Homo-oligomer: A and B are copies of this chain.
Amino acid sequence: MARIVVKFGGTSMANIERIRHSALHVKREVEAGNEVAVVVSAMSGKTNELVGWVNEASKLHDAREYDAVVASGEQVTAGLMAIVLAEMGIQSRSFSGWQVPIKTDDAHGAARITEIDPTELDKRMKDGWVPVITGFQGISPHGRVTTLGRGGSDTSAVAVVAAAVGADRCDIYTDVDGVYTTDPRIVPKAQRMTKISFEEMLEMASLGAKVLMLRSVEMAMAYKVRLLVRSSFDDPNAPQIAPDGTPGVPGTLVCDEDEIMEKQIVSGVTLAKAEAKITLRDVKDKPGVAAAIFGQLADQGIIVDMIVQNIADDGATTDITFTVPDSEYDKAVKALENNGGKFEYARLSGSKGGAKVSVVGVGMRSHAGVASSMFKALADKGINIQLITTSEIKTSVLIDEEYAELAVRALHTYYGLDKKDA
């Protein structure tokens, strides 16, 4: 028996038929003897509709009213899920954020959870009930409804709920069936990972694997909540074999590194296209020059990705190269050229159309030579490397966009990630 918090996203709650299908997943877990709490998103598209109305009402609206309106979407799906579960013979009731209560600060529209009182949820689960909680919302110190902000905050809240009730696992039901070694559209031989460590998932998430948002992984890691990413579109009645204590069903478990026995040197290969590179030559190297350059870009809201700096021969100047999204290239160049004397450089060069290819794996920590083997694998295909950055568990290169898919496929094969039977 385990205690599980189950999260369903908008596509899993899109209509009554989908809600019923999702509820069957809950039923299976309950019948397996688990204590289950459910957290739901609004029907897909609903939150956008509500936000649209708010903006139509006034561009300069009170964030507290935005929250009052937008929070209604999950209220609907929580009630409907509780009804569907009850019809399946499962004792269930819905909880709005304020009823739990999920206490937040008063940063309306992007509130942070300050405290969850697990008493009522805990009691219900022990008594065999399935509480269904509205995702994405809480209550402020002033008794107003708050929302937690969009884009992953809902999932991160789930991790906090799971931590509050002491859940053994948090199941994230979404429209994909797990985390893959790379994008299956590029590499048909890509495999779903059975397990991935929090650290690797963080690198994968930030590198464009959109299954889980960065912040939700951070929260899960901070609260030590194991996340199981799986698809609500699966057959709920398929056998859920778990020989090693982890589920055998389609899905990827995001867990602590220690839980992963066979550590791959490289767990996954990720790709981000449309990266532009900009190089500033002979930058006068004095303290604070990097801060001045990237502060200038940040002021324009331009997000910089890779950054590489080399000391030039003379020791007095340096070359700095970095990447920005292609769409921000012109804006970035203008901001650098018109910097109001904040920093000096001899020449600016750059180009759009780069692709960042990365290999990620906690095994890198203990294996020398991953970077060099990566460069060799790319060289074997005649792919020129323009830029290199590394972190503890990731090595990234910038290459010409034309070679992107070729590079991903080559590295996927090179590190033994290809599906055996495909």
Contact = CB atoms under 8 A, between A and B. Distances in A.
Interface in A7-22: 16, 19-20
B80 A53 contact: yes
Question: Can you tell how many copies of this chain the complex includes?
Answer: 2
A98 B66 CA distance: 18
B75 A71 contact: yes
Interface in A62-82: 62, 64-69, 71-73, 75-76, 78-80, 82
Contacts of A231: none
B79 A58 contact: no
A57 interface: yes
Scoring A71, A73, A83 by chain B CB atoms within 10 A of each residue's CB, the highest score goes to: A83
Interface string A77-95: 0111011101100000110
Contacts of A330: none
Interface string A41-64: 000000000100110111011101
A143 interface: yes
Nearest to A77: B69
B58 A69 contact: no
B75 A68 contact: yes
A181 interface: no
Contact of A82 (B60, B62, B79): B62
A57 to B, nearest CB: 4
A325 B78 CA distance: 41
B79 A60 contact: no
A52 to B, nearest CB: 9
Nearest to A60: B87
Contact of A57 (B16, B54, B73, B143): B16
A96 interface: yes
A62 B83 contact: yes
Interface of A: 16, 19-20, 50, 53-54, 56-58, 60-62, 64-69, 71-73, 75-76, 78-80, 82-84, 86-87, 93-94, 96, 98-99, 143-145
6 contacts: A53-B80, A58-B84, A62-B83, A62-B86, A69-B76, A99-B144
